[in-house]
Structure 1
Amino acid sequence: MNIHQPQYVNGHGLLKGRSVLITAAAGAGIGFSAAKRAVEEGCRSIVISDVHEGRLQAAVEQLRADTGLEQVAGKLCNVADEEQVQALIAFAEDFCGGVDVLINNAGLGTTKALIDMEDAEWDRVIDVTLGGTMRMTRQMMRTMKTRGEGVIVNNASVLGWRAQKEQSHYAAAKAGVMALTRCAALEAAEFGVRINAVSPSLAVHPMLKKSAPEDLLAELEGREAYGRGAEVWEVANVMIFLASDYSSYLTGETISCSSQRA
């Protein structure tokens, strides 16, 4: 494979017979790509969630059309709301007959210098990105504990390790996701559940290309060892690996999906 021009990888049945729940999966980014990859890897049923009703329904229809899987459902959920989190997991449990894999993809980021940041902006980013991951993980752990098995994969970021201007709130939230992953994994190990995270650097998707200035995007890609950002499906591949039995002895780990130079 040419690392500069990667070819899409065919499925190998890594999630054959599993059921999957993914948050924030109705866009054109990592979440939807992870959903598509999960189906391509043989999952038997999948539930995706989002906060945008129209986009969610379109994503469900597209996933069915792209993969041929009929056992696809969508459920609105704001992960900052505990009642909605509980309702989502109850729905997915019923639809799937038990959720085997949860992928926490929901997160929120803005760009603001700390000196100019209002409490409300800080709180919103933290509550969705870290608090939402915590709520979904907590409720899913309670459910998986009764079965004595399951896998949770969290979406972190290299900003949990690295500094970047105007990203103090997002970086703090993602560092928190990493710490949450480590601590929750120790608790979940006692009842047979694994929890890991993936830490992407620059993942290029249509929304990013539309919103980011061309010169900024070029600068960020220039920092990557391969001279490009990751394709979203390359990040999704790491998530699927962590969700599969190929990572059966991994828990509490954060896997960097980055080629960024120091």
Structure 2
Amino acid sequence: MTHDLLRDKVVVVTAAAGTGIGSSVARRALEEGATVVVSDWHERRLAATASDLGVKGIPCDVTVEEQVQELVDSTVAEYGRLDVMINNAGLGGTASVLEMTDEEWHRVLDVTLNGTFRCTRAALRQMVAQGSGAVVNNASVVGWRAQEGQAHYAAAKAGVMALTRCAAMDVAEHGIRVNAVAPSLVMHQHLAKVTSEELLRELTAREAFGRSAEPFEVANVMLFLASDLASYLTGEVIAVSSRHP
């Protein structure tokens, strides 16, 4: 069931290629009446996703400022405005602090935290100029909760939460909102490839519903935050999780 929550809105979704949260939120935004632009660093998968959805795809590596700015500029040139930026790009990995290299640490933070900052900054500058807009960031429950081998990812996601709260205050006077979701376990093809079955069973057992979330279930909360239903909500991080404390 759809409710035209984003009718006539121009929505950009980063890391939208593939079968995860990004492509799911892009599809749901379309269903809710939005004009959608999808972006990803992987051009072949991006082209496939854009073709499947029938939307514009713009390649973008969120670690490169010029590409981030081009994503915003191209969207505005094509559609005249940018109403919603959904920052979904992130990079994980598993390594103990004892063995983690500087390169591993910096790579995860540059994609997951710095990339979110770059996209948020570019989007907010446009939104301030046009006088409206909303940003929705993808954080994670590991920004709150400890998990072995996730120091770099957890630090990055905790940073996304803090960035969300502070950026919201920076643009509140312009009527622009910045919020985030914090999913727990969300099953998709990439997670299944990079996570052992033993760890997946352990993580699933901690979920109150006894299963992982589906990407569309996270996407639905992101759409709520992007929509006018959340018109008086800013600087918040909403857990999309049934996980036990």
- Counterpart of 2:63, as a letter, is A
Pair 1:258-2:245 in alignment: no
The residue that corresponds to 2:52 in the other structure is: 62
SS at match of 1:116: coil
The residue that corresponds to 1:7 in the other structure is: none
Give the count of matched residue pairs. 245
- Counterpart of 1:211, as a letter, is V
* Correspondence 1:8-87 to 2 at 5 A: 10-43=1-34, 45-64=35-54, 72-87=55-70
- Counterpart of 1:237, as a letter, is N
- Counterpart of 1:181, as a letter, is T
> Over residues 118-150 of structure 1, what are the superposed CA-to-partner deviations in whole Å (9 max), with x where a residue is unaligned?
111100100110000001111111111111110
SS at match of 1:27: coil
The residue that corresponds to 2:162 in the other structure is: 179
SS at match of 2:128: helix
The residue that corresponds to 1:67 in the other structure is: none
The residue that corresponds to 1:162 in the other structure is: 145
TM, length-normalised to structure 2: 0.98
* Residues 46, 96 of structure 1: 8 Å contact kept: no
Structure 1 residue 209 displacement after superposition: 2.3
- Measured in 2, the distance between the counterparts of 1:94 and 1:218 equals 47
Q: Any runs of at least 4 consecutive aligned residues in structure 1 with deviations exceeding 3 A, and if so which?
A: none
The residue that corresponds to 2:215 in the other structure is: 232
- Counterpart of 1:168, as a letter, is A
* Residues 79, 133 of structure 1: 8 Å contact kept: yes
- Measured in 1, the distance between the counterparts of 2:172 and 2:64 equals 27
Runs of 5+ consecutive residues of structure 1 not aligned to the other structure: 1-9, 65-71
* Residues 81, 130 of structure 2: 8 Å contact kept: no
Structure 1 residue 76 displacement after superposition: 0.7
* Residues 185, 252 of structure 1: 8 Å contact kept: yes
Pair 1:218-2:186 in alignment: no
The residue that corresponds to 1:204 in the other structure is: 187
Structure 1 residue 75 displacement after superposition: 0.7
> Over residues 224-257 of structure 1, what are the superposed CA-to-partner deviations in whole Å (9 max), with x where a residue is unaligned?
0000010000000000000001110000000000
Structure 1 residue 11 displacement after superposition: 1.6
- Counterpart of 1:236, as a letter, is A
> Over residues 162-207 of structure 1, what are the superposed CA-to-partner deviations in whole Å (9 max), with x where a residue is unaligned?
0001100000000000000000000111111100000000001122
The residue that corresponds to 1:241 in the other structure is: 224
Structure 1 residue 37 displacement after superposition: 0.4
Structure 1 residue 94 displacement after superposition: 1.5
Structure 1 residue 217 displacement after superposition: 1.2
